[in-house]
Amino acid sequence: MDDGLLPSHHLSKAISDSASAATHQHLSQASMCSPLSGELLTSAFLSRFSPFHDSHCLLPLDTSDISPHSLNSALSAITDGSLEPYCDNDDDDPKWAEAMVSVEREFWIAGTCNELQSLKDLQVFVLVPHSSMPKGRRALKGKLVCKWKWDNTGKVTHYKVWYITKGFAQIPRLDYNKMTAPTAHLESLHIIAHIAASLNWELHQFDIKTAFLNGILPEDEQQYMEQPQGFEVPGKEDWVYHLMKSIYGMKQASCVWNITFNGAIVF
């Protein structure tokens, strides 16, 4: 597993015990409620066999929307992006559908236009006909993510929208080869701070905005992505984005950005 984590028998045992317990519980329920056995079996096995590679995240999935379809149908829907797993959280930011029926609808639309213009200005994609896609390749689906930006007084100052890809549908060795990127150890920061203090140096910290959008994709990992629904270019509604750079949501985004940044600062 190429995720930068060392294998652990404790982690494996915990996952195995948890999965076995969940499976036993669902099978017990299925034996008591035979008409619902297919749905319960789907709930029991979906999280174990979902094709999410290189991840230690266990996602509890609600399969009520796909009943009475088979397990294979559910897994196929997840793979092609038509079914999206998600986790509930306490974030108050609206989903796109909610934003479109709110009184702030026009602000969110303007934020989306700004986002797409930024992608265009950064040359993240080239709009190409769907027929130009190589045989066997498919266009990834995307989603619009809304985020309120606040000032210190709690007033909304900006309606930020990101257009991200549904990276969970990417296929290893076809859409990406490597997804890990190195991270600094805390000890390294301690050493730098110690050297700076000893030599009376000044330390400067900076943030690179939209960092991932600057990562240049290798030719064998360049992707195709659908245009956001409702924001298609007039007359080219069926065209797709040919991604030349990484975009948020892609599995290899952090790795590609690290390679690009390292190549720029290391002489």
163: left (phi over 0), alpha (psi -120 to 50) or beta: beta
**76 and 24, same structural domain?**
yes
| 193 within some domain | no
One domain, residues 165 and 136: yes
The domain boundary, picked from 80, 104, 122, lies at: 80
Same domain, 43 and 106: no
Find the mean pLDDT for residues 22-48. 51
The span from the CA of 156 to the CA of 98, in Å, is 17
Examine the domain organization and report whether 61 and 112 are in the same domain. no
* End residue of a domain, out of 53, 80, 107: 80
Please choose, from the candidates 163, 126, 157, the residue with its C-alpha nearest in 3D space to the C-alpha of residue 142: 163
Name the nearest CA neighbour of 134 among 178, 175, 79, 81.
Answer: 175
**Do 124 and 160 belong together in one domain?**
yes
Contact 224, 139 (CB under 8 A): yes
Q: What is the reported pLDDT for 266?
A: 82
Q: What is the mean pLDDT of residues 140-157?
A: 91
SS3 191: helix
* Domain assignment of residue 10, yes or no: no
My answer on whether 105 and 223 are in the same domain is: yes
The answer to whether residue 200 is domain-embedded is no
62, 147: one domain: no
Region 213-238 average pLDDT: 92
pLDDT (average), residues 74-98: 70
- Please state at what angle helix 71-80 crosses helix 37-49, rounded to 10 degrees: 40
3-state secondary structure (DSSP) of residue 216: strand
Q: Which of 146, 127, 118 is nearest to 247 (CA)?
A: 118
Residue 196 banded pLDDT, cuts 50, 70, 90: very high
Which among 80, 110, 125 is the end of a domain? 80
Q: Is the pLDDT of residue 102 over 60?
A: yes
76 and 111 fall within a common domain: no
Give domain status of residue 43, yes or no. Answer: yes
Same domain, yes or no: 152 and 60? no
**Structural domain includes residue 163:** yes
Is 11 a member of any domain? no
Report percent pLDDT > 90 for the chain: 42
What mean pLDDT comes out for the span 120-149?
92
| Average pLDDT value over all residues in the chain | 78
* 69 and 149 co-located in one domain: no
**Structural domain boundaries, residue 42:** 20-80
Q: Are residues 151 and 247 in the same domain?
A: yes
b/e map of 75-104 (b: 16 or more CB within 10 Å)?
A: bebbeebebebeeeeeeeebebeebeeeee
In this structure, the answer to whether residues 53 and 127 fall within a common structural domain is no
> What total number of domains does the chain contain?
2
